[in-house]
């Protein structure tokens, strides 16, 4: 009789401890590897800003890099330019975005859903394509619009120059509106219409209701989207690279690239500039988080279908204006890039032979293009395969287990959302060139995969966490009670139920990897260039026709894929939460 309780007490002890140990081991492994790939590169940026020796040489610590950085006016100008562009862009884009979102969600404008889709399409269009498309039109010498203007009397003295501050702002506005609209339209739609109606019943006109009820009630959502734009201020890269560098206009991200590419490379100064940005982010991000979390209004939607505001006589003018905006953002760039790839000379419609397939034949037999295509498929494909598996494991652990260290893992996964691509790339460059055992990896596609996988951690884990929470614990517990073990439950119940989300993560990873340039521009060599990087090089070298084809391939691999995924019912996109 004495032995039975002792055995009973021992059994749980045996099965408890190893499981906890196994979990702890997994946790340490995840925190270690994620921390290594995400935090360590950032630490390296900070450390090496105090390093005088160049990359891959024994460090000599000193303040020379900082001294040089502070004495070089170009660095301060680039930081100021970054902020200047962000401010002007937000001042122009944000109010317009709010207005369009409100119109699409709360008024009887025709084709509201169609417009929402077009803004989504605009969001999916890589900014290389938008920028290059507008370059073809607004180049001061060869731009199609400028050529036309020269033939019109009285207007022939006007020339639009895209290589200017306002040229950069123009492309930013055209390509930055979509994010605001697709984030805010659902938020406006979710708002309880009774709040506005209560104001009307209290004696407020439509306009008074808009300013005293609708906008204040929407403030939390507006603040979130606005702050998102502020943080993205440091993300901006391709537009300034293509439109700023030709006339010596730098923002911090193109300045870092410029410093790192000089001969000899001024990587330490780049690290100093990167450190300044990291410090700025360290101030801005916590501020942003506090602002977001301080104010949240629960908006309960009533059962009644929200009444749409009747625009009356404004209906069709507003519809045409939005149509024009969407056309400028999506139609114009795609048409001009298409034209660029099929025309003998872009914009010359009066040549004896206007259209040609020659450039396509040339491009498709060009080994450089084929190599870049292969690189893109390998890098984006592996990011799409590895990402969902790794992040679903992390999300599962964060949501479902009570392992110690979850908050650390959560925090690490959150960091990449705040780190601009160029900085992450700079950190990885130091890591791979500065650590002897990693050096052989430099110049391989592995580097680019790491950059893309780690770059999207935050969004992916957030989406997966949300769907694990939604899934509910009971479905798994029912499987455990039916006699399935943890692994069988994970593979037989959890993964099948999560399949759609996993595919979504895979598609998102592929999209971002196929279009992204800033995280890998410092890491890629001429052998490991992806299509996006090849396109940037071709544009910089002035090969407009071949560049058009490369850009079109990037569009096909990103926007095309997103369209296919959407037609299968996948909600590819972003959310404010």
190 touches other proteins (CB under 8 A): no
Paired strand residues for 51: 61
The residue within the footprint of other proteins, chosen from 23, 35, 74, 204 (CB under 8 A), is 204
499 touches other proteins (CB under 8 A): no
Binding mask 387-406 for other proteins (x = CB under 8 A): --------------------
297 touches other proteins (CB under 8 A): yes
| Shortest distance (Å) from residue 205 CB to other proteins | 6
113 touches other proteins (CB under 8 A): no
302 touches other proteins (CB under 8 A): yes
110 touches other proteins (CB under 8 A): no
156 touches other proteins (CB under 8 A): no
| Shortest distance (Å) from residue 108 CB to other proteins | 12
d(CA 423, CA 278): 8
550 touches other proteins (CB under 8 A): no
d(CA 527, CA 71): 36
Q: State which residue, 11 or 298, has the beta carbon closest to other proteins.
A: 298
Q: State which residue, 109 or 137, has the beta carbon closest to other proteins.
A: 109
The residue within the footprint of other proteins, chosen from 130, 195, 330, 451 (CB under 8 A), is 195
Contact assessment for residue 394 and residue 462, using Cβ atoms and an 8 Å cutoff: no
The residue within the footprint of other proteins, chosen from 213, 334, 409, 415 (CB under 8 A), is 213
Q: State which residue, 88 or 292, has the beta carbon closest to other proteins.
A: 292
Q: Which stretch binds other proteins (CB under 8 A): 130-138, 213-221, 238-246, 323-331?
A: 213-221
d(CA 288, CA 293): 9
Q: Which stretch binds other proteins (CB under 8 A): 4-12, 189-197, 333-341, 463-471?
A: 189-197
- Burial (Cβ within 10 Å: 0-12, 13-18, ≥19) of residue 495: middle
199 touches other proteins (CB under 8 A): yes
| Shortest distance (Å) from residue 435 CB to other proteins | 52
- Burial (Cβ within 10 Å: 0-12, 13-18, ≥19) of residue 125: buried
40 touches other proteins (CB under 8 A): no
- Burial (Cβ within 10 Å: 0-12, 13-18, ≥19) of residue 248: exposed
217 touches other proteins (CB under 8 A): yes
224 touches other proteins (CB under 8 A): no
Paired strand residues for 309: 107
198 touches other proteins (CB under 8 A): yes
d(CA 192, CA 217): 10
The residue within the footprint of other proteins, chosen from 2, 15, 113, 303 (CB under 8 A), is 303
Give the total of residues touching other proteins (CB under 8 A). 27
Contact assessment for residue 528 and residue 478, using Cβ atoms and an 8 Å cutoff: no
Q: Where does 139-214 have alpha helices with state H?
A: 144-151, 165-190, 193-201, 206-209
Cα atoms in the Cβ-side hemisphere of radius 13 Å centred on 53: 10
439 CB contacts (<8 Å, ≥6 apart)? 56, 432, 433
d(CA 452, CA 238): 17
What is residue 125's DSSP assignment? S
Distances (CA, A) of 484 to 19, 402, 475, 559, 576: 16, 20, 12, 41, 37
192 touches other proteins (CB under 8 A): yes
Q: Where does 516-543 have alpha helices with state H?
A: 531-541
Q: Which stretch binds other proteins (CB under 8 A): 205-213, 223-231, 523-531, 565-573?
A: 205-213
312 touches other proteins (CB under 8 A): no
226 touches other proteins (CB under 8 A): no
Q: State which residue, 194 or 484, has the beta carbon closest to other proteins.
A: 194
Q: Which stretch binds other proteins (CB under 8 A): 109-117, 187-195, 317-325, 480-488?
A: 187-195
d(CA 90, CA 226): 8
Binding site for other proteins (CB under 8 A): 192, 194-195, 197-205, 208, 212-213, 216-217, 219, 297-304, 307
């Amino acid at each position: 009789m004495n032995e039975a309780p002792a055995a009973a007490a021992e059994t749980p002890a045996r099965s408890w401890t190893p499981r906890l140990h196994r979990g702890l081991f997994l946790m340490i492994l995840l925190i270690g590897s994620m921390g290594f790939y995400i935090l360590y590169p950032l630490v390296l940026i900070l450390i090496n800003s105090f390093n005088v020796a160049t990359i891959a040489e024994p460090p000599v610590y000193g303040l020379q890099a900082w001294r040089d950085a502070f004495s070089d006016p170009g660095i301060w100008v680039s930081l100021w330019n970054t902020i200047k562009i962000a401010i002007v862009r937000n001042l122009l884009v944000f109010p317009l975005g709010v207005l369009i979102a409100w119109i699409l969600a709360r008024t009887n404008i025709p084709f509201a859903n169609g417009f929402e889709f077009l803004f989504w399409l605009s969001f999916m269009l890589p900014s290389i394509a938008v920028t290059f498309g507008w370059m073809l039109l607004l180049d001061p010498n060869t731009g199609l619009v400028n050529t036309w203007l020269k033939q019109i009397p009285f207007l022939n003295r006007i020339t639009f120059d895209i290589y200017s501050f306002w040229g950069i702002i123009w492309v930013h506005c055209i390509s930055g509106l979509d994010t605001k609209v697709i984030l805010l339209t659902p938020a406006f739609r979710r708002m309880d219409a009774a709040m506005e109606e209560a104001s009307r019943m209290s004696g407020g006109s439509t306009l008074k209701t808009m300013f005293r009820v609708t906008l204040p009630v929407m403030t939390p959502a507006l603040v979130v989207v606005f702050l998102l734009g502020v943080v993205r201020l440091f993300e901006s890269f391709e537009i300034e690279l293509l439109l700023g560098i030709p006339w010596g206009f730098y923002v911090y991200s193109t300045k870092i690239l410029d410093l790192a590419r000089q001969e000899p490379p001024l990587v330490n100064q780049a690290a100093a500039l990167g450190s300044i940005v990291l410090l700025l982010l360290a101030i801005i991000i916590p501020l942003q988080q506090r602002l977001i979390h301080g104010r949240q209004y629960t908006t309960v939607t009533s059962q009644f279908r929200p009444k749409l505001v009747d625009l009356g006589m404004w209906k069709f003018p507003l519809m045409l204006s939005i149509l024009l905006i969407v056309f400028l953002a999506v139609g114009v760039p795609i048409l001009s890039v298409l034209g660029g790839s099929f025309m003998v000379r872009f914009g010359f419609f009066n040549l004896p032979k206007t259209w040609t397939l020659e450039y396509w034949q040339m491009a498709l037999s060009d080994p450089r293009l084929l190599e870049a295509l292969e690189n893109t498929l390998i890098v984006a494909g592996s990011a799409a395969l590895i990402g969902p598996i790794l992040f679903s494991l992390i999300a599962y652990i964060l949501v479902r287990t009570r392992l110690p260290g979850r908050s650390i893992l959560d925090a690490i996964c959150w960091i990449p959302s705040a780190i601009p691509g160029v900085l992450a790339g700079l950190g990885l460059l130091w890591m791979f060139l500065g650590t002897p055992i990693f050096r052989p990896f430099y110049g391989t596609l592995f580097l680019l995969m790491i950059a893309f996988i780690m770059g999207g951690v935050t969004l992916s884990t957030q989406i997966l966490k949300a769907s694990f929470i939604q899934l509910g614990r009971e479905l798994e517990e029912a499987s455990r009670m039916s006699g399935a073990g943890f692994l069988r439950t994970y593979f037989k119940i959890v993964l099948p139920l999560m399949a759609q989300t996993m595919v979504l993560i895979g598609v998102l990873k592929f999209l971002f990897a196929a279009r992204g340039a800033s995280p890998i521009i410092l890491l890629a060599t001429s052998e490991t260039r992806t299509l996006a990087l090849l396109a940037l090089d071709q544009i910089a070298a002035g090969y407009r026709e071949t560049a058009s084809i490369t850009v079109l391939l990037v569009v096909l691999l990103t926007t095309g894929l997103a369209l296919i995924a959407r037609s299968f019912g996948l909600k590819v996109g972003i959310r404010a939460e």
